[in-house]
Amino acid sequence: MIAPSVLAAHLARHAIPPAAQHAHVEDLYLAAACAVGDAAALAAFEAELVPVIRAAVRRIHDAHDFTDEVVQVIRERVLVAPPDGAPRIAEYSGQGALRAWVRIAAMRMALNLLRDRRRDVLVGDDHLFETIAAEHGHRGSAERYREAATESLRAAFTKLSPRDRNLLRMHHLHGLTVDELAPTLGVHRATVARWIAGAREQLLVETRTGLVARLDIGDSTIDSILEGIASEVDVSVVRLLVDDG
């Protein structure tokens, strides 16, 4: 248990009236307690939120060592106070669930680490383009294919409607299921599932158009690249959404 004054200070930091009925009051309490180093709160963070972090990171890059690294960085960045301030978890203001706040922070950190290593940040398979280039007798073209795929994916993403981008953001970044999204959007779950599938399909159609425009290669090679992208399209969508902010 933390002193009432600790929670009051956290609420005041974010201009939340102490008597307000808040949807995420338990999350605000946990964040306030973690920010002052409360042992029970830190244990709760480890038990409840570290699994969320691990699952989020695996959506960016599914490698055990990489996941462990991001988890440790998040612990340090979110829970440890810098010499001249408060830990980052003190910035949590209750605008959405703490699980979603932590999930997005983990995805952004994972993507930044991949960029620091000069890794392709949109297509998950490290060897996809090398394999396709070799199979189609175009050895040495892998990097050109990679650049064209990245540019095409980004361009295709910008052509999605605001509704589709928001829907994908709620589903992939905030972790809302079809059943959770349906009442929020006021439609049947089957409609939500159809919208999500349609947004993915449009992304792939526009990506193929971009590949054709950028690469002077045969349809079979284009189709191989697109098939590789499609096999991990959810990874690409997550990375595009994190990039989009």
Task: Dump pLDDT digits (tens) for 134-159.
Answer: 887 777 788 888 889 989 999 999 99
Could you tell me if 145 and 236 lie in one domain?
A: yes
**Co-location of 224 and 138 in the same domain:** yes
Domain span holding position 68: 4-116
Higher pLDDT, 161 or 239: 161
Co-location of 137 and 29 in the same domain = no
Q: Say how far apart CA 185 and CA 169 lie, in whole Å.
A: 14
The answer, yes or no, to whether residue 7 has pLDDT greater than 70, is: yes
pTM (2 d.p.): 0.69
Tell me which residue of 90, 92, 91, 123 sits closest to 239, measured CA to CA.
123
pLDDT tens profile 58-117: 888 888 998 999 999 999 999 998 888 889 999 999 988 999 999 999 988 988 887 777
User: What CA–CA distance (Å, rounded) separates 224 from 132?
Assistant: 7
For residue 36, the 8-state DSSP code is T
Q: Is residue 74 part of a domain?
A: yes
Query: Is 76 a member of any domain?
Result: yes
| In-domain check, residue 8 | yes
The answer on 106 and 48 residing in a single domain is yes
Q: pLDDT > 90: what percent of the chain?
A: 49
pLDDT at residue number 119: 57
Angle at 114 between CA 111 and CA 116, to 5 degrees: 110
**Does residue 122 fall inside a structural domain?**
no
Tokens of 3: 């002193």
78 in a structural domain: yes
- For 127, other C-beta atoms within 10 Å of its C-beta total 10
Could you give the number of structural domains in the chain? 2
From 75, 96, 116, the end of a domain falls on 116
Angle between helices 50-60 and 64-74 (to 10 degrees): 130
Residues 97 and 202 in one domain: no
